[in-house]
């Protein structure tokens, strides 16, 4: 039982950045914007989070710098796609590649070529009094860091805003029928741009989670495709924050299971097989799902007739 509790505790811990990134994707894609620069946003968030924390000695500064970096990349993506009407997938991929080179180059400019990785302290766990002592569920749900707690609250808030408020209706209108929304007086481009900006902020925090909360260091491979997993979680969750929360936990379990089994060192089984488990799960679940309720104009730029 202890092993299962530890596994699930680790799963919630590892699911947090995936859920954060997926929530940002849900917000943007509900307005029709497919933020394919998500991998680059995660990476520059990790880069900014580590550098901000290492140079200042303050984790809050690290998260703020990560948020700013994610926002800048998202604004570049929004400018080129929303206002310059460039292809969303092509621009997102190009920006992600650009960010990879940017992070590698400026990390070396700031720190030089290190023979051993630079280290920072990781965010501590906060045990909620009384609740963390509840058998089984206490350690799983109430012995996490502050970012994990806030992420689960944010998922509920995002669901309420998107589906129960006029702001959410405005967002969904831009993704379902941008022309009708424009006729109704909704500034479609502004709504889409702001949604992409919010996705960038959340993606930046998600990326910073890895160096600040998990490994305490930065490498160019630290994200390793997890931005794309968050992108897939948005699809699998049917563009719902609560759906993304559920699938984020599933992927957290798969990632934690991969780490756990790999640590056991089962003879004859390659460790890379378990490292690939979350990515394999994306493919399997996407193929198995038969129905997706995607926004009608997802990925389509709105070109306003003058």
**pLDDT over 80 (residue 260):** no
The maximal CA–CA distance of the chain, rounded, in angstroms, is 67
CA 212 to the chain's CA centroid: 15
Q: What is the pLDDT of residue 73?
A: 97
**pLDDT over 60 (residue 263):** yes
CA 72 to the chain's CA centroid: 16
Report how far residue 134's alpha carbon sits from residue 261's, in angstroms, rounded to the nearest whole number: 27
Report how far residue 209's alpha carbon sits from residue 200's, in angstroms, rounded to the nearest whole number: 14
Q: What is the pLDDT of residues 160-197, one digit of tens each?
A: 999 999 999 999 999 999 999 999 999 999 999 999 99
**pLDDT over 60 (residue 66):** yes
* Residue 270 pLDDT grade (very low, low, confident, very high; cuts 50, 70, 90): low
User: Could you tell me which of 157, 214, 298 has the C-alpha nearest to residue 10?
Assistant: 214
CB 125 within 8 A of CB 61: no
Count of Cβ atoms closer than 10 Å to residue 285 Cβ: 16
Q: What is the pLDDT of residues 7-50, one digit of tens each?
A: 889 999 999 999 999 999 999 999 999 999 999 999 999 999 99
Average pLDDT along the chain: 90
Q: What is the pLDDT of residue 131?
A: 86
Instruction: For residues 76-105, give the mean pLDDT.
Output: 95
Instruction: For residues 104-133, give the mean pLDDT.
Output: 89
Report how far residue 7's alpha carbon sits from residue 3's, in angstroms, rounded to the nearest whole number: 6
**pLDDT over 90 (residue 70):** yes
Q: What is the pLDDT of residue 246?
A: 92
Percent over 70 (pLDDT), the chain: 94
Instruction: For residues 75-93, give the mean pLDDT.
Output: 94
**pLDDT over 60 (residue 267):** no
If you write DSSP's letter for every residue of 240-273 in order, what string do you get? -HHHHHHHHHHHHHHHHHHHHHHHHT-TTS-HHH
| pTM for the structure as a whole | 0.93
Q: What is the pLDDT of residue 266?
A: 61
Backbone angles phi, psi at 144, to 5 degrees: -125, 175
């Amino acid at each position: 039982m202890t092993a299962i509790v530890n596994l699930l505790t680790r799963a919630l811990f590892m699911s947090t950045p995936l859920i954060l990134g997926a929530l940002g994707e849900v917000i943007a894609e509900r307005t029709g914007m497919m933020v394919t620069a998500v991998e680059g946003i995660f990476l520059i968030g990790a880069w900014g989070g580590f550098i901000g924390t290492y140079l200042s000695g303050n984790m809050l500064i690290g998260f703020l710098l990560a948020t700013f970096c994610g926002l800048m990349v998202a604004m570049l993506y929004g400018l080129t796609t929303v206002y310059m009407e460039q292809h969303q997938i092509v621009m997102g991929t190009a920006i992600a590649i650009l960010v990879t080179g940017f992070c590698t180059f400026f990390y070396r400019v700031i720190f030089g070529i290190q023979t051993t990785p630079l280290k920072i302290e990781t965010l501590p766990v906060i045990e909620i009094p009384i609740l963390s002592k509840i058998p089984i569920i206490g350690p799983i749900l109430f012995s996490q860091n502050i970012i994990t707690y806030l992420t689960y609250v944010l998922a509920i808030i995002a669901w309420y805003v998107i589906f129960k408020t006029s702001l959410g209706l405005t967002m969904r209108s831009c993704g379902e029928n941008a022309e009708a929304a424009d006729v109704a007086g909704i500034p479609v481009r502004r709504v889409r741009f702001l949604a992409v900006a919010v996705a960038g902020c959340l993606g930046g925090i998600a990326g910073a989670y890895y160096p600040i909360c998990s490994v305490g260091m930065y490498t160019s491979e630290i994200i390793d495709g997890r931005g794309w997993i968050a992108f897939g979680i948005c699809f699998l969750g049917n563009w719902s924050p609560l759906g993304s929360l559920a699938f984020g936990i599933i992927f957290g379990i798969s990632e934690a299971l991969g780490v756990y089994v790999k640590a056991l060192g089962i003879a004859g089984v390659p460790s890379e097989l378990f490292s690939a488990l979350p990515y394999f799960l994306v493919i399997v679940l996407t193929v198995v799902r038969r129905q997706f309720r995607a926004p009608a104009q997802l990925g389509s730029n709105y070109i306003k007739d003058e």
